[in-house]
Amino acid sequence: MEQVSEFLDNFGYMTFSNTQFWIGFGVLAAVILCYQLAKRFAPSVTAPVTTFFDHHPLIWICIPAALLIYFVYVSLGWNLWVSVSDWGDGMLEASYGWGGFGNYAKMFTSPNFWPALRNTLLLFCLIPLCLLLGLGLALLMDQGLRGTAVFRTLILLPFALSFVVTGTVWAYMYRPTGGVLNSFLGLLGVDVSAAMKNGSLMWASSNRTIMLSIIIAMVWQFSGYVAVIFLAAIKNVPVNVINAAKLDGAYMPRIYWKLIIPQLKGAMGSCITILAMYALRSFDFIVSLVGYTTSSAWTLPIWMYNEAFQNNNFAYSAAISCFLLALVLVLILPLTYWTNRRS
């Protein structure tokens, strides 16, 4: 929990210490508030401005577009420059001269690179697991059994929880001594103490099973969401088509396999894209579950965080973040294209 508190403190520093940002945000909010008040109580004063915006509506698009360009693309470009700057390791004072690609060479030759990349890619195992479990739950809810509405709410509830809450809950469930899982196994007659002496049933406390424990918890959180998406797609299949298949003598298992499931490709593509994005942004979940000092659970974002805010290697951390961005583009863009093509 101390690691989680330190992470939140650093996150708060990163987010709320930019004075220029908050001054600009305050000025913009004050201008909008004054305009709305003047428009309400003195419309004659704001009439020229209102008329101008009515005749030039594209200006309303330019404002958020400018904010998007500044906070996203300019920031990405600046991060790329920092990664090739001469900002030395361990230096708190920034330096933005040209430093070459040494940080990238250091990253690819680091002993932490391949384990972090492997763990990042391992998180994608939650995609087929969530799809299979979500499809099974959707088919079960499609039977119209009593209590389906309550069941649908219960399985969707984990998705509504934040990663920090879910990670903290599963951290207590995975505790080898006194944890919910091992206590339940003890009630079933499993000799938990003997298993722990052999290195088994250690869950997130063992380097062998730590990534499996993370994936299980994430599958629990996202399977309900996938099930609800699949159920909505199943309900969109025309009833007359299903009735026609029944009149032809087809049984429901065959109808599901030959008729309904092939029409879930669009929903499946959307779920795959969303699950992939959540797998890549599971930083706060892993930190809440096992902390950020457990190197066996390091993913690329956690490694990047440690280099930046534990070792003060900001240019090196920027190089890791640029590689992570490239990985996101390589993995997510084809999924997005496939989803749009299927839909």
Each residue of 198-242: pLDDT tens digit?
Answer: 777 888 888 888 999 999 999 999 999 999 999 999 999 888 888
* pLDDT tens string 111-141: 999 999 999 999 999 999 999 999 999 999 9
- Spatial distance between the Cα atoms of 278 and 271, rounded to a whole number of angstroms: 10
Strand partners, 334: none
Q: How far apart are CA 68 and CA 300, in angstroms?
A: 25
The set of residues, in sequence order, having a beta carbon less than 8 Å from that of 100 and lying 6+ positions away, is 84
CATH number of 116-342: 1.10.3720.10
The percentage of the chain sitting over the pLDDT mark of 70, rounded to a whole number, equals 92
The answer to whether residues 228 and 151 touch, using CB atoms and an 8 Å cutoff, is: no
The answer to whether 271 and 233 are in contact (CB under 8 A) is no
Residues 265-303, buried b or exposed e (16+ Cβ, 10 A)?
A: ebbbbbbbbbbbebbbebbbbbbbbbbbebeebbbbbbb
Query: What are residue 52's phi and psi, to 5 degrees?
Result: -60, -45
Tell me if the pTM is above 0.85: no
What pLDDT score was predicted for residue 299? 94
Domain boundary assignment for the chain: 116-342
Structure tokens at 260: 């309904």
